[in-house]
Structure 1
Amino acid sequence: MFWKKSPSTVLAGLLVIHLLAHVDRNMLLGFSPQIIADLNISNAQYGFLVGAVWVLSFGFMALFMGSLADRFSRTRVIAAGVLIWSACTWASGHAQSFEQMVVARFFVASGEAALVPAAVALLAELFSAKRRSSAMGVFFMGIPLGVGCSFLLAGTFGAEHGWRTTFYALGLIGVVIAVLLAFLKDDRSQLPPHERGAPFGQQMRSVLGTIHDRPALLLIIIGFVLVHMIFAGLAFTQLWLVKERGMDAAGIATRIGMLQLGFGALGSLVGGVIGDSLARKFRGSHASLMTLLVILCAAPMIAYRFAAPGSAIFYIGMCAGFFLPLALYGPVNAAIMSMVPQQTRSTVTGFTMLCINVFAVAIGNLAVGWAIDFLDAHGVQAPLTQVVLATDVIAISSALFFALAARASRSVPLTGSIVQGASQG
């Protein structure tokens, strides 16, 4: 497996694939007016396409694909995922009805669910504990970069060639990448049973047992899920700025997009780097650093909700909200990888993604929308302000769980099998 001798090259390749995944994932957003008109679908149907369809497929398939990546070749699991999502991205361009688009997007999500669990475990294998957070941070830069590139692509290539041709091109690029990935050998079936994953049911019992036996791990996962409530609030931020803060819809949409792209990417990079350089200096390691990051961003995030639109405090707080969740991806994933046996790393990552998608994305967005409607129906003043502020408070409450995780982790040494998994890089 010669390709493992260059971890930085592997990281660069995984970043490109992650970026492509988020371009494919978000192209529906970039082409929303055209797709709604061409397929003659309602706003509710469009919301179902970008919301429930994705969560139902992606969240649960991440767990299953993660278990496969622990048991079999991680590169081949990623290759299969890229092939599935790319073929179905291409098929999305051929969709002529709502039902056809639902099927295509369901399998796009299923394919993309294979990437992160396998990639995170692979990076944990290739990079030592001293470099792991930085590697994770670079990999997760694919999220803001992919979101930004999807809108950029829609406004350039898509504006000239149309949404269908753009989907065809993206699908073709992904298929080529999948074929190349399939030639990278990573045969885990030859490893001793204690170094690779078990069948799904047995693997899940092992993962749940690990989480039960390591309180710090459970607390970090809970905190990480809570931080993602920032995204539930973000879904309604533009509406809040227009309806209750009097800002121009077109102008603020562009600024939100650019600031989210810039500070999200900066958060991934900075959080990953300081996760390696500073975490070791804290008694609670990565969990203490996560606590500090949340505390530092808390005040500007809250002040932003009350500041005058366009003021310095307003933009500092907005950028802090874009920075924080991405800044935690590197330290959180590095911490999780250090707490679990190597044969369960992908499955635990898939479990974390399932929790995020079910509780923060699906239930979180539904609860936020319901709360806004409820307060508005009862004549409460500025209902949007109160609800988006509540999502900030919930996200900031993650600091408590990270702090408890830091305290719990001080008394729990790393096991030998975990340390062995960090031998390279």
Structure 2
Amino acid sequence: MALMTPRAALDAPATVDLPVGRTSSRRRIYPWIVFGLAFALLLSDYMSRQVLAAVFVPLGEELALDKGQLGSLISVVALMVGLLTLPISILADRWGRVRSLVVMAILWSIATLACAFAQSYEQLLIARFFVGVGEAAYGSVGIALVLSLFAPRVHAALSAAFMAGGSFGTMIGTAVGGVVAVHFGWRWSIGAMAVLGLLLVAAFKVIVTETRVRRHQTVDDAPATPAKVETPKGARAPLSSLFTNPAVICAYLGSGLQMFMAAVMLTWLPTFFKEEYTMTVDKAGGAAAFFVLLVGTGMIVCGVIADRVSRQDPTRKWTAGIGFCSFAFVSLMIAFQLPTGGLQLTLMAVGAFFSAGCSGTTAAMVASLTHKSVQASAMGTLTLANNLLGLAAAPFIIGVLADHMSLADALAIAPLVYLPAAAAMYIGRRLHPRGLAKLQALSTRVDR
């Protein structure tokens, strides 16, 4: 049999004259290649988004920016992500997910490169606006692409890992950005992220195509045979149902509010360590990266814990979410009242671990309380809440407060946001039975 190039091997249909074991092996490997490349682009997404936080001090000094302006450069990206995720996700489903992901990655990488050449706050803000446009739907479209290649029995684990990738990308961008800034300057830190994104999207475009993805799609646990992708039949639930179930609204609110403090830590810890611990830019970035790693790890671990405690009673996911908020609130409130030192850092580490622990819990509640025909839209709405209430609001609000008091004082009051977050989850737990009844009535009406 003639030898094939790697590209030809990937393109070869499942019916080529190969032993069954080799065919099945290749079919198992390709989805993981797609996952790896999609995950790498997700890391690039957040590295490009958050590298600015690592260079706030030198950037602010060169362009004479206050903390409110610096925070707005982070917030504008999250704002665009929140506003555009749902409409772009709908367009991607029609135009092609792979093609859409490539365009998104090229756009955010070029916009990030433009940030490296900006000479004023206005130029930076415009470039960051387009970073947000490019990144808007990458998370929702990327995870949809990945899940289409794997059996449902592993979807929960893949979703948790993909969501946590944002924290890991932030960690890498913060650490690497700080080191590069010290040796070459803040512009090189941002430019390096742009070049990495362009290299990754080039590899993604060569290896991942719509044709190959369709060939490897599966809808069950038997990956040996390509599955037919059929358009779901029957009526769809109205989009208004995403906002008429009170328990679902509680999940939106609880998730968005608990993301506020996580966003604060992702954005302002490098500056906090620079100012309060008198660290250099690279050391402050490295220290902040450790805490960001705890945020991402906590998201995964807390999701596993919530799944385990709720096996017999789904409402225990709400209880777990309340617990995670409580741990984060107590730890961080005490930590930012303490003087700098080991005890403060220890309590900050505990708070960081639980700071976004409710992410998986609230996503599971949204999925379980919305009709299957609009669950993708429900996840888009959840992303909107996470960005508007948390990821977009936090950097700007804390920056403005820091300009009027100090960053340390602003961080000391920021954990108060966990109180309304926990209250929303408590109300959601009380309304959960009513939410299930409302979903059942809707399903009876739509599916018959």
Identify the TM-score tier after normalising by the shorter chain.
0.7 to 0.9
Choose from 282, 304, 316 the match for 2:335.
304
Residues 1:299 and 1:42: Cα distance change in structure 2 (over 3 Å): closer
Asked if the contact 1:90–1:171 (Cα under 8 Å) also holds between the matched residues in 2, the reply is: no
> Which among 237, 249, 253 is matched to residue 218 of structure 1?
249
Task: Provide the residue aligned with 2:298 in structure 1.
Answer: 267
* Distance in 2 (alpha carbons) for counterparts of 1:107 and 1:179: 21
Q: Which runs of 5+ in 1 are unaligned?
A: 198-204, 377-381, 419-425
The offset of 1:401, in angstroms, is: 1.8
TM-score by length of structure 2 reads 0.72
Equivalent-residue separation in structure 2 for 1:154 and 1:255 (angstroms): 9
Partner of 1:21: 45
Deviation sequence 1:100-131 (CA, Å, 0-9, x none)? 44433222211111211223444565667764
The question of whether the paired residues in 1 share the 8 Å contact of 2:57 and 2:271 is answered with no
When residues 92 and 51 of structure 1 are mapped into structure 2, their CA distance, relative to the original with a 3 A threshold, is: closer
Q: 1:229 matched to which residue of 2?
A: 260
TM-score, with length taken from structure 1 = 0.75
Q: How is 1:2-401 mapped onto 2 (pairs within 5 angstroms)?
A: 9-32=33-56, 41-44=63-66, 47=70, 50-95=73-118, 98-122=121-145, 131-155=154-178, 159=183, 162-163=188-189, 166-167=192-193, 169-180=195-206, 183-185=209-211, 191-192=230-231, 206-207=238-239, 209-231=240-262, 233-234=264-265, 247-250=276-279, 253=284, 256-307=287-338, 309-312=340-343, 314-369=344-399, 385=409, 387-401=410-424
Q: Deviations over 1:166-200 (max 9, x none)?
A: 25522421430452366134679x85375899xxx
Q: Distance in 1 between matches of 2:204 and 2:254?
A: 34
For 1:300, the aligned partner's letter is S
- Report deviation, 1:220: 0.7
Q: Judge which range, 21-30 or 277-286, deviates more.
A: 277-286
Number of positions where the alignment pairs a residue of Structure 1 with one of Structure 2: 396
- Sort the Cα spacing of 1:403 and 1:240 in 2 relative to 1 into closer, same or farther, 3 A: same
CA distance in 2, matches of 1:294, 1:113: 27
Report 1:397-416 matches (<5 A): 397-411=420-434, 412=436
Unaligned runs of 5+ residues in structure 2 are: 1-12, 15-25, 218-228, 444-448
Sort the Cα spacing of 1:260 and 1:116 in 2 relative to 1 into closer, same or farther, 3 A.
same
| 1:342 Cα deviation from its structure 2 partner | 4.5
Q: Relative contact order (C-alpha < 8 Å, sep 6+): which is higher? A: 1
* Contact kept? 2:333, 2:413, Cα under 8 Å: no
Give the Cα–Cα distance (whole angstroms) in 1 for the partners of residues 235 and 352 of structure 2: 37
**Aligned-partner Cα distance in 2 for 1:373–1:103:** 23
**Distance in 1 between the 2:69 and 2:407 partners?**
25
Q: 1:43-66 CA deviation, whole Å, 9 max, x = no partner?
A: 149627623532443221223212
The DSSP-based 3-state class of the residue aligned with 2:63 is coil
Aligned-partner Cα distance in 2 for 1:346–1:70:
11
Decide whether the 8 Å contact of 1:136 with 1:272 is kept in 2. Answer: no
Offset of residue 21 of structure 1: 0.7
- d(CA) in 2 for partners of 1:302, 1:334: 28
Would the aligned equivalents of 1:18 and 1:140 in 2 still touch at CA under 8 Å?
Answer: no
Identity rate, percent: 19
d(CA) in 2 for partners of 1:35 and 1:74? 36
Superposed displacement of residue 17, structure 1: 1.8
Conserved? CA contact 2:367–2:375, under 8 Å: yes
